[in-house]
Amino acid sequence: MKSLITKTLMFSLAGALGGLILSLGSGESLAQSDVLAVQPRAVEDRKAVFATVEAADTLHARARIGGTVGSLTVDDGAAVEEGEVIAVVGDPKLMLGLRSIDARINSLKAQLGQAQTELNRSEQLFRQGVVAQARLDQARTAVQVLERNLNALQAERSVAVQQADEGQVLAPASGRVLDVLVINGSVVMPGEPIALIASGDYLLRMEVPERHARFIELGETVLVGDRGLTQEQSGAMRKGEVVKVYPLLRNGRVEADVKVEGLGDYFIGERAIVYISTGSRETIVLPTEYLTTRFGVTYATLENGRDVVVQTGNRVDGGIEILSGLRPGDTVVMPQPQALKGDAQ
């Protein structure tokens, strides 16, 4: 009986010991897979500068003739297509002149009809030998003179019609109306602007301090923050490309244009924050899953299980910058959930 009890206890202890070894082995392999060696790497330093939304091109829709503005069909912010009529400039003198020309044309047509009738009669009498050749020639010359005068007057009418058509103010390009400079009833002169139109894509025009100007190059990638002037980001920042650098310094600053997709819903003149590269430096970067925050303090867990307080910096590609608390050569592991730590203790 005693031997049976002894054998049973031995088998139970062996099973428990085997389970403990298996559990320790699995825990060790899990910890090894989550271990990260701390090593510094090069990251770009970025400086926040203000940028203003600008249109790639701004054009004026101008009056081609002088007169009074009427039929103004657009307002600030309206979208227009190239060649669209946005206003009509009327000149009463043009209409009066056109009516005068029409009256003269009708008079010449009546005279031409009478002269043609006289020519036909003269040709018939000439064949009968009643009138001389000189009278026939005179009738033909009268018809030719009236025809040429009629053609000249019709050409003059075409000029007057073209001038009246030029009273239509056309959009010079497709885009958005930024500002309407007149109202209905305004008197304008030839060439006076009627509306300002933004055409083409929107750009961010940033001003970079002179000490950082040497880092700005064509084709360089910059980061654009959220819409507005806050430096706290709600998500991933958009990327932009420097497409133009202006060679003139203004008030100690260099201007550059940045092309960014999706600026169509911004307002012209709206400001945003752009982050530009100002060189690179060596620093420690940890993925965010290796950090935990308790009561406003950020911790990293070393391989031996000890939590150390770390000071974090900017977010960079691959994680977050560690300013202090860790040294090159340290090894960290992913922190355990708080409940598991309490159970282990």
Q: How many domains does the chain have?
A: 3
Task: Write b or e for each residue in 234-266: b if 16 or more Cβ atoms lie within 10 A of its Cβ, otherwise e.
Answer: eeebeebebeeeeeeeeeebbbbbbebeebeeb
Lowest mean pLDDT: which of 82-86, 107-111, 150-154, 216-220?
Answer: 216-220
The rounded percent of the chain whose pLDDT value lies above 90 is: 29
Q: Answer yes or no: are the C-beta atoms of 250 and 298 closer than 8 Å.
A: no
Q: Give dist(CA 123, CA 184) in Å, integer.
A: 60
The per-residue pLDDT for 44 is 79
Instruction: Please give the structure tokens belonging to residue 344.
Output: 């282990």
The per-residue pLDDT for 162 is 81
Q: Are residues 159 and 236 in the same domain?
A: no
Q: Which residue has the higher pLDDT, 232 or 67?
A: 67
The per-residue pLDDT for 60 is 93
Q: Answer yes or no: are the C-beta atoms of 153 and 108 closer than 8 Å.
A: yes
Mean pLDDT of the chain: 81
Q: Which residue has the higher pLDDT, 204 or 235?
A: 204
One-letter identity of residue 38: V
Rank 38-42, 67-71, 191-195 by mean pLDDT and report only the highest: 191-195
Q: Are residues 76 and 51 in the same domain?
A: no
In-domain check, residue 274: yes
The per-residue pLDDT for 116 is 93
pTM: 0.52
Model confidence band, residue 31 (pLDDT cutoffs 50, 70, 90): very low
Out of 145, 175, 205, a domain closes at 175
Q: Are residues 134 and 168 in the same domain?
A: yes
Q: Are residues 229 and 130 in the same domain?
A: no
Mean pLDDT of 158-170: 85
In-domain check, residue 15: no
Q: Are residues 223 and 201 in the same domain?
A: yes
Say whether pLDDT at 30 is over 80.
no
Say whether pLDDT at 182 is over 90.
yes
Q: Give dist(CA 214, CA 277) in Å, integer.
A: 10
Q: Are residues 82 and 171 in the same domain?
A: yes
Q: Are strands 221-227 and 187-188 parallel, antiparallel or unpaired?
A: unpaired
The per-residue pLDDT for 229 is 66
In-domain check, residue 183: no
Out of 280, 313, 336, a domain closes at 280
In-domain check, residue 141: yes
In-domain check, residue 33: no
Mean pLDDT of 53-75: 89
pLDDT in tens, 276-316: 888 788 889 999 899 999 888 999 999 888 899 999 987 77
In-domain check, residue 10: no
Mean pLDDT of 107-119: 91
Q: Are residues 168 and 68 in the same domain?
A: yes
In-domain check, residue 108: yes
Sheet holding 67-70, edge to edge: 168-170, 85-90, 67-70, 187-188
Q: Are residues 263 and 318 in the same domain?
A: no
Residue pointed to by tokens 């159970």: 343
One-letter identity of residue 116: Q
Say whether pLDDT at 274 is over 80.
yes
Q: Which residue has the higher pLDDT, 312 or 336?
A: 312
Q: Which residue has the higher pLDDT, 327 or 337?
A: 327
Domain of residue 137, residue span? 60-175
DSSP helix, strand, coil percent of the chain (3-state; round to 5): 35, 40, 25
Q: Are residues 276 and 321 in the same domain?
A: no
Q: Are residues 74 and 144 in the same domain?
A: yes
Say whether pLDDT at 19 is over 50.
no
CATH of the domain at 223: 2.40.30.170
Report CA torsion sign: 21, 23, 26, 28.
Answer: negative
Out of 234, 263, 280, a domain closes at 280
In-domain check, residue 210: yes
Q: Are residues 64 and 171 in the same domain?
A: yes
Q: Are residues 213 and 320 in the same domain?
A: no
The per-residue pLDDT for 196 is 93
